Structure 1
Amino acid sequence: MGEVWMKLSKVMLLKLTNASSIHVLVVVIFIVLSAVLMLDLLNLSSKMAHMNKDNDEYSHKHGQTRGIKEWKNIRRSVGTEPLPYLILKDIVNIDTIPVREPTCAVNSILMILVTSAPDHFDRRRAIRNTWAKDRKTHNDSNWQTFFLIGNSRDSVKNRKIEDEFYEYGDILLGDYIDTYRNLTLKVQNGFKWAVENCQPQYLLKTDDDCYVNTRYFPRFLDQFNPNRDGLYAGAMFNDRGVVRDKNSKWYVSPEDYPMSVYPRYASGTGYVLSKDVLQRVVEAFSEVHPFPVEDAYTGVVVHRVGVSMLDTGRFTMYNKQWRICNYLYLLVIHGVTPEQQYLALKYTDDTLVECPGQKESVTWY
């Protein structure tokens, strides 16, 4: 194309030899600018073709089709909170770390799934050093702990999380943007993974600001729990109204959930499901439209599959100045700082010598 423009320029210059020098100069400038513009357009076209080829290869490699719906969800996922919920199958990897799955023991007594934010490194470290440690010297039951984390908008944090995954092997990285409004996706992802890969006899969902009494909890479930099937237990919320204020982080639209009141459900700070209930809940995910209040959503799904909630005081939503012997009873304590995790573990260990004549609780009440 460049050669054609050069020949055309020469022809026009020959025809304009009798014209005034000003006219000749104007024509020459026009010809040169036109040639430059045409060459830029050709280069741009070549680059776009190369980019399209790369995108096609990426989509083929990852089994993804980037349609209009997928790209809309990407734009929604990287906005500012409050975020709408995102359906798992519509989320597309773009500038995020890939999904990573840890290795789990199959058919353990208890699996503990801890929801954690990408930048909560200090909380995860404290949990690993305290109640998530292998406590088999005091407890013969087989149990395991994993952290649920999504993708951060910060690429540096993503790289740190991936390094943490390879170092500890206890993180399930999900393909969703990690925000408070996406907690429902986080829990769905964890439950599905547990059912498909691990099949624990009981599953506890909790948060990274909670203390779990792993000295007594697995043994209680294994040896004393009377509710082997149909178990959904925690600290109960009853007759809670659905928040319709769009400025609230707990906002749920009538389209997402039309009822004005939730059925009673367990606080997301900690609730436990038996294996049969976990299986039925995961199967019902496709039947119950997800909305961005994780614990209420789980309660709605459990209610749909016909399971009643067991309200227990052994799960507490408040971190008070508990006496040492209270740790013979308490199973989950909410509102615990990383520093307090070490103290709570010490109190639990101290029950062996500080509570003579007192036995660990063997009921839910």
Structure 2
Amino acid sequence: MASLTNCNCTLRRIAYLVIASLIVGQVLMIYHVIVKKDAHKYKVHQINVSFHKNYSSDQDNDEFTDITSNFSSVVIDKLKSEATLNNVSFLAPMIASPTACESMNYLLLVINSKVEHAGRRLAIRQSWGDAKNIDHFNEKAKTTKAAPPLKWKLIFIVGRSNTADINKKTEAEAKQYGDLIIGDFTDSMKSLTLKTVMAMQWAKHFCSPAIYYKGDDDVFVNPYLLYQIAEGYVRNNIKKEWICRAHIHPISRRPVRNKRHRYYVPYSKYRQKLFPYFCSGFAYVMTGDALSSMVSVVKTTPIIDSVDDAFVGILADKVKIKPKHDKRFKVYDRYDRRPNRFNRPNVEIELMRKTLAEHGIYYLKMKTYMANTNKAMLVK
């Protein structure tokens, strides 16, 4: 009986060893399929990342459109968090990054976009964000310029979704268009400041643009008017300029202390009664030296994650830059959006001539706005 018991124990041990070896084999197979396969998909770099804060998730899926598989030759750089990218320390790791600018002679446009908003990004690329608009505008102007024309570069910055399929489509979008910065953090209201500042850091270190535009993905921009302003700044050597819909009045600069409010700012993050002057975050334009100066004080400024526009104002105040209010930055106007607005073509065209950026535009209307802008700016 004892002999039989010992035999059974031995058989059980052998069975356990066989099962364990099978499990190890499966794990190694999965590793080979996933990791090795990904190694062919990404060019791997090591970057160092300094985190100011961990950001919470806030899922809000909408408007995600499919991206075709007709990829360009742009390669996503899979960036890890344990080293530095060209000795630049960002606020968070990046999953993808556009190619750097070839010179400093750029009008760089950076759009804060929610990861799910592929439809909005596509609408911008196909309307006001298309560099061909500016090429056509320069040809139409037929002017001899003392300096080479500014180059137009459009990029978007997004975070990560809690949905794997959306992340996969966003990476495909980055490969197709080559214009996405994908930050390795959850995309939410609490990540707006992170996105804004990371984009500014990227712009300074990988582009050093002559002029910097920042906007949201629900803003329509008159590209011709923006380009004229940018060229004027460069031609006249304007420095430390920052234009926008500015918050100057004290009422609009009070931090929200209600804990239930989406823009709540605790005293631990900002103790003053008023924020410095700042620009509405939906759109603003600044010269390259203003951008560089603001980025230089990021590391010494505690992040306020709930109010990205006020935070940029704090950076500007540290380097003694004040925003200038420009009435050509417009917010949603219910009166102008009456159903018959587009049945008043002369009024619409006149509005477009006086609009630099307009907030709250439905993305399916971008092409209509662009058509009216063409009539306003190109047709004599």
Does the CA-based 8 Å contact 1:184-1:294 persist in structure 2? yes
- Which of 285, 307, 330 lines up with 2:298 in the alignment? 285
Q: Distance in 1 between matches of 2:205 and 2:90?
A: 17
Deviation at 1:207, TM superposition (A): 0.4
Deviation at 1:314, TM superposition (A): 1.1
Bigger shift: 222-231 or 270-279?
A: 222-231
Equivalent residue for 1:315? Answer: 329
**Are 1:266 and 2:265 an aligned pair?**
no
Equivalent residue for 1:236? Answer: 246
Aligned partner letter, 1:299: G
**Are 1:125 and 2:122 an aligned pair?**
yes
Residue deviations 1:286-333 (CA, integer Å, cap 9, x gap): 111111111110011101111111011011122452831122221110
Equivalent residue for 2:344? Answer: none
Structure whose alpha-carbon radius of gyration is higher:
1
Does the CA-based 8 Å contact 1:316-1:334 persist in structure 2? yes
Does the CA-based 8 Å contact 1:319-1:333 persist in structure 2? no
5+ residue gaps, structure 2, are 27-38, 60-88, 142-148, 338-346
Bigger shift: 215-224 or 270-279?
A: 215-224
**Are 1:245 and 2:255 an aligned pair?**
no
**Which secondary structure state, in structure 2, belongs to the residue aligned with residue 190 of structure 1?**
helix
- Which of 216, 220, 230 lines up with 1:207 in the alignment? 216
Identity %: 23
- Which of 154, 161, 167 lines up with 1:145 in the alignment? 154
- Give me the CA root mean square deviation: 3.9
Residue deviations 1:48-71 (CA, integer Å, cap 9, x gap): xxxxxxxxxx9xx976899xx98x
TM-score (norm 1): 0.72
Aligned partner letter, 1:344: Y
**Are 1:106 and 2:131 an aligned pair?**
no
Label 1:216 to 1:92 Cα distance change in 2 as closer, same or farther (>3 A).
closer
The alignment of Structure 1 onto Structure 2 pairs a total of residues equal to: 314
Label 1:33 to 1:147 Cα distance change in 2 as closer, same or farther (>3 A).
same
| Runs of 4+, deviation exceeding 4 Å | 28-41, 61-66, 79-82, 88-93, 224-227
Label 1:35 to 1:272 Cα distance change in 2 as closer, same or farther (>3 A).
same
Q: Distance in 1 between matches of 2:114 and 2:355?
A: 25
Residue deviations 1:105-147 (CA, integer Å, cap 9, x gap): 4323421111101111111111111101121111374322111
Residue deviations 1:245-275 (CA, integer Å, cap 9, x gap): 2222211221111213211211001111111
Q: Distance in 1 between matches of 2:208 and 2:137?
A: 24
Residue deviations 1:14-35 (CA, integer Å, cap 9, x gap): xx99xxxxxxx9xx99999999
**Which secondary structure state, in structure 1, belongs to the residue aligned with residue 243 of structure 2?**
strand
Label 1:91 to 1:30 Cα distance change in 2 as closer, same or farther (>3 A).
farther
**Are 1:334 and 2:334 an aligned pair?**
no
Equivalent residue for 1:303? Answer: 317
Equivalent residue for 2:184? Answer: 175
Q: Distance in 1 between matches of 2:91 and 2:104?
A: 31
Deviation at 1:342, TM superposition (A): 1.5
Q: Distance in 2 between matches of 1:172 and 1:65?
A: 16
Deviation at 1:276, TM superposition (A): 0.8
- Which of 189, 196, 201 lines up with 2:198 in the alignment? 189
Label 1:156 to 1:284 Cα distance change in 2 as closer, same or farther (>3 A).
same
Does the CA-based 8 Å contact 2:128-2:223 persist in structure 1? yes
Does the CA-based 8 Å contact 1:181-1:249 persist in structure 2? no
Q: Distance in 2 between matches of 1:212 and 1:247?
A: 33
Does the CA-based 8 Å contact 1:109-1:222 persist in structure 2? no
Deviation at 1:352, TM superposition (A): 4.6
TM-score (norm 2): 0.69
Does the CA-based 8 Å contact 1:101-1:173 persist in structure 2? no
Q: Distance in 1 between matches of 2:93 and 2:102?
A: 30
5+ residue gaps, structure 1, are 1-12, 18-24, 48-57, 83-87, 357-365
Label 1:295 to 1:38 Cα distance change in 2 as closer, same or farther (>3 A).
same
Equivalent residue for 2:164? Answer: 155
**Which secondary structure state, in structure 2, belongs to the residue aligned with residue 350 of structure 1?**
helix
Label 1:230 to 1:247 Cα distance change in 2 as closer, same or farther (>3 A).
same
Aligned partner letter, 2:296: E
Q: How do 1:71-82 residues align onto structure 2 when only pairs under 5 Å count?
A: 77=55, 79-81=56-58
Does the CA-based 8 Å contact 2:221-2:357 persist in structure 1? yes
Deviation at 1:344, TM superposition (A): 1.4
